[in-house]
A and B are shown apart, each in its own frame.
Chain A
Amino acid sequence: MTKRKSLRLGNRDLPFQMVLLAFGIVTFFPLVLVVITSFKSNTQFYHNFWLPELPLHLGNYSSAFRIIWRFIVNSVLYSGSTICLIAVIASVAGYVFARFHFPFKTALFLGFITLIMVPGVLTLAPRFVLVRDLGMVNTPYALISVWVSGGLVLSTWLMRSYFESLPQELFDAAYVDGAAEWQVFIYVSVPLARPMIATVAMTTLISSWNDLIWPLVTITDKDKMPLAMGLMQFSSDFETDWGTLFAGYVISSIPLLCVFAVAMRQFISGLTSGSIKA
Chain B
Amino acid sequence: MFGRGRKIAPYLFISPFFIGYTIFFLYPVIQSLQLSLYRQVGLTNPPRFIGFDNYVRLVTKDALFIKALTNTTYYALGSILIIVPLALLLALILHSPKLRFREFFRFLYFTPNITAGVVVGIIFGLVFEEQYGLVNNLLLAPLGIDNVRWLREARWVMPAIILLGVWKWTGINAIYFMVGLQNIPPELKEAARVDGATRPQVFWHVTLPLLRPILAFVLTIAIIGSYNLFAEPAILVGLEGGPNNAGMTMTMYLYTRGFRELKMGYASAIGYSLAVIILVLSVIQLFLIRAFRED
Give A residues with C-beta under 8 Å from B.
6, 9-10, 13, 16-17, 19-21, 23-24, 26-31, 33-34, 49-50, 89-90, 92-93, 95-97, 100, 102, 105, 108, 112, 114-130, 145-146, 148-150, 152-154, 156-158, 161-162, 165, 181, 195-196, 199, 202-203, 206, 209-210, 212-213, 217, 227-228, 231-232, 235, 245, 249, 252-253, 256-257, 260-261, 264, 267-268, 270-271, 276-277
User: CA A116 – CA B21 in complex, angstroms?
Assistant: 11
Q: When A30-B134, A122-B275 are in contact, do A199 and B17 touch as well, CB less than 8 Å?
A: no
User: Is there contact, CB below 8 Å, between B10 and A100?
Assistant: yes
- CB-nearest residue of chain A to B280: A117
User: CA A105 – CA B18 in complex, angstroms?
Assistant: 13
Q: Ordered nearest first, which 6 A-B pairs have the shortest CB separation? A: A122-B271, A126-B31, A123-B28, A149-B24, A93-B17, A126-B28
User: Is there contact, CB below 8 Å, between A119 and B274?
Assistant: yes
- Interface flag for B242 (CB, 8 Å): no
User: Is there contact, CB below 8 Å, between A210 and B117?
Assistant: yes
User: Is there contact, CB below 8 Å, between B17 and A90?
Assistant: yes
Residues from chain A with a CB closer than 8 A to the CB of B278 are: 117-119
Q: Which of B24, B96, B111, B255 contacts A31 (CB 8 A)?
A: B111
- Interface flag for B126 (CB, 8 Å): yes
15 contacts between A and B (CB under 8 A): A20-B94, A30-B124, A50-B134, A50-B138, A90-B17, A93-B14, A95-B13, A115-B26, A122-B29, A123-B31, A154-B221, A161-B217, A252-B119, A260-B110, A261-B107
User: CA A92 – CA B24 in complex, angstroms?
Assistant: 20
Given contacts A33-B134, A213-B255, A277-B185, 18 further A-B contacts (CB under 8 A): A17-B100, A20-B93, A28-B111, A31-B115, A92-B13, A96-B10, A117-B278, A119-B274, A121-B255, A125-B267, A129-B43, A146-B24, A152-B21, A165-B183, A206-B114, A228-B116, A249-B119, A260-B110
Q: Which of A102, A115, A118 has the most CB of B within 10 A?
A: A118
- CB-nearest residue of chain B to A232: B118
Q: When A125-B35, A149-B21, A228-B116 are in contact, do A30 and B107 touch as well, CB less than 8 Å?
A: no
User: Is there contact, CB below 8 Å, between A264 and B106?
Assistant: yes
| Secondary structure class of chain A's binding surface, majority of residues | helix
Q: Which of B29, B105, B115, B134 contacts A118 (CB 8 A)?
A: B29
The distance from the CB of B105 to the nearest CB of chain A, in whole angstroms, is 5
User: Is there contact, CB below 8 Å, between B114 and A257?
Assistant: yes
The distance from the CB of B111 to the nearest CB of chain A, in whole angstroms, is 6
User: Is there contact, CB below 8 Å, between A123 and B230?
Assistant: no
- Interface flag for B279 (CB, 8 Å): yes
User: CA A272 – CA B264 in complex, angstroms?
Assistant: 52
Q: When A115-B26, A120-B228, A125-B258 are in contact, do A231 and B116 touch as well, CB less than 8 Å?
A: yes
For residues 164 through 212 of chain B, which have their beta carbon under 8 Å from a beta carbon of chain A? 167, 171-172, 175-176, 178-179, 182-183, 185-186
User: CA A122 – CA B268 in complex, angstroms?
Assistant: 6
- Interface flag for B293 (CB, 8 Å): no
Residues from chain B with a CB closer than 8 A to the CB of A126 are: 27-29, 31-32, 35
User: Is there contact, CB below 8 Å, between B14 and A122?
Assistant: no
Q: Which of B27, B96, B167 contacts A130 (CB 8 A)?
A: B27
Q: When A121-B255, A122-B254 are in contact, do A31 and B275 touch as well, CB less than 8 Å?
A: no
| Secondary structure class of chain B's binding surface, majority of residues | helix
The distance from the CB of A165 to the nearest CB of chain B, in whole angstroms, is 5
Binary per-residue interface labels of chain B (263-279) against chain A in the complex, 1 for a CB within 8 Å, 0 otherwise: 01001100110110011
The distance from the CB of A2 to the nearest CB of chain B, in whole angstroms, is 9
User: Is there contact, CB below 8 Å, between B109 and A253?
Assistant: no
For residues 75 through 133 of chain B, which have their beta carbon under 8 Å from a beta carbon of chain A? 86, 89-90, 93-94, 96-100, 103, 105-119, 122-124, 126-127, 132
Size of the chain B interface, CB-CB below 8 angstroms: 93
Q: Which of B31, B96, B113, B228 contacts A119 (CB 8 A)?
A: B228
Give B residues with C-beta under 8 Å from A.
7, 9-11, 13-14, 16-17, 20-21, 23-29, 31-32, 35, 43, 86, 89-90, 93-94, 96-100, 103, 105-119, 122-124, 126-127, 132, 134, 137-138, 167, 171-172, 175-176, 178-179, 182-183, 185-186, 213-214, 217, 220-221, 224, 227-228, 230-231, 250-251, 254-255, 258-259, 264, 267-268, 271-272, 274-275, 278-279, 282
User: Is there contact, CB below 8 Å, between A13 and B96?
Assistant: yes
The distance from the CB of B276 to the nearest CB of chain A, in whole angstroms, is 9
The distance from the CB of A124 to the nearest CB of chain B, in whole angstroms, is 7
User: CA A27 – CA B134 in complex, angstroms?
Assistant: 12
Q: When A125-B267, A264-B106 are in contact, do A89 and B113 touch as well, CB less than 8 Å?
A: no
Residues from chain A with a CB closer than 8 A to the CB of B93 are: 13, 16-17, 19-20
User: Is there contact, CB below 8 Å, between A121 and B230?
Assistant: yes
User: Is there contact, CB below 8 Å, between B167 and A102?
Assistant: no
User: CA A123 – CA B108 in complex, angstroms?
Assistant: 35
User: Is there contact, CB below 8 Å, between B108 and A24?
Assistant: yes
User: CA A145 – CA B20 in complex, angstroms?
Assistant: 8
User: CA A177 – CA B10 in complex, angstroms?
Assistant: 22
Q: Which of A114, A124, A270 contacts B259 (CB 8 A)?
A: A124
